[in-house]
Amino acid sequence: MLDAGPRTVLIDEADRSLDPKKEGVGDLLAVINSGYRRGASRPVLTPSKEGGWNVAEMSTYSPLAMAGNNPALPADTRSRCIRVLLMPDLEGIAEPSDWELIEHDARALAQRVETWAESVRDWVRENRTDLPEQVKGRNAEKWRPLKRIACAAGGGWPAVVDELAAHDVEQQEQDKEDGMTTQHPHVALLAHLHETWPPGLAFVATSDLVRTLILEHPEMWGEDSPYGRALTPQRFGRMLATSYGVNSTRMSATGPRGYTFASLEQPWRRMGITAKPVA
Q: Select, from the ranges 69-78, 146-155, 166-175, 265-274, the one with the highest average predicted confidence (pLDDT).
A: 146-155
pLDDT greater than 90 at residue 20: no
Is residue 208 within 8 Å of 214, Cβ to Cβ? Answer: no
Q: What is the pLDDT of residue 181?
A: 58
Q: What is the pLDDT of residue 279?
A: 47
Q: What is the pLDDT of residue 244?
A: 93
- By C-alpha distance, which of 262, 265, 204, 269 is closest to 236? 204
pLDDT greater than 70 at residue 142: yes
Instruction: Give percent of the chain above pLDDT 90.
Output: 53
Mean pLDDT of the region 73-87: 87
Mean pLDDT of the region 84-108: 87
Mean residue pLDDT of the chain comes to: 89
Mean pLDDT of the region 45-56: 91
Q: What is the pLDDT of residue 262?
A: 94
Mean pLDDT of the region 99-123: 94
Residue-wise pLDDT for 166-224, tens only, equals 999 998 888 777 655 566 788 889 989 999 999 999 999 999 999 999 999 998 899 98
Q: What is the pLDDT of residue 91?
A: 84
Residue-wise pLDDT for 238-247, tens only, equals 999 999 999 9
pLDDT greater than 70 at residue 128: yes
pLDDT greater than 90 at residue 158: yes
Higher pLDDT among residues 253 and 72, named by residue: 253
- By C-alpha distance, which of 221, 224, 226, 199 is closest to 211? 221
pLDDT greater than 90 at residue 225: no
Q: What is the pLDDT of residue 37?
A: 84
Q: What is the pLDDT of residue 274?
A: 67
Mean pLDDT of the region 143-164: 96
Q: What is the 3-state secondary structure (H, E, C) of the chain?
A: CHHHCCCCEEECCHHHHCCCCCCCHHHHHHHHHHCCCCCCEEEEEEECCCCCEEEEEEECCCCEEECCCCCCCCHHHHCCCCCCCCCCCCCCCCCCCCHHHHHHHHHHHHHHHHHHHHHCHHHHHHCCCCCCCCCCHHHHHHHHHHHHHHHHHCCCHHHHHHHHHHHHHHHHHHHHHCCCCCCCHHHHHHHHHHHHCCCCCCEEEHHHHHHHHHHHCHHHHCCCCCCCCCCCHHHHHHHHHHHHCCCCEECCCCCCEEEEHHHHHHHHHHCCCCCCCCC
Mean pLDDT of the region 113-126: 94
pLDDT greater than 50 at residue 28: yes
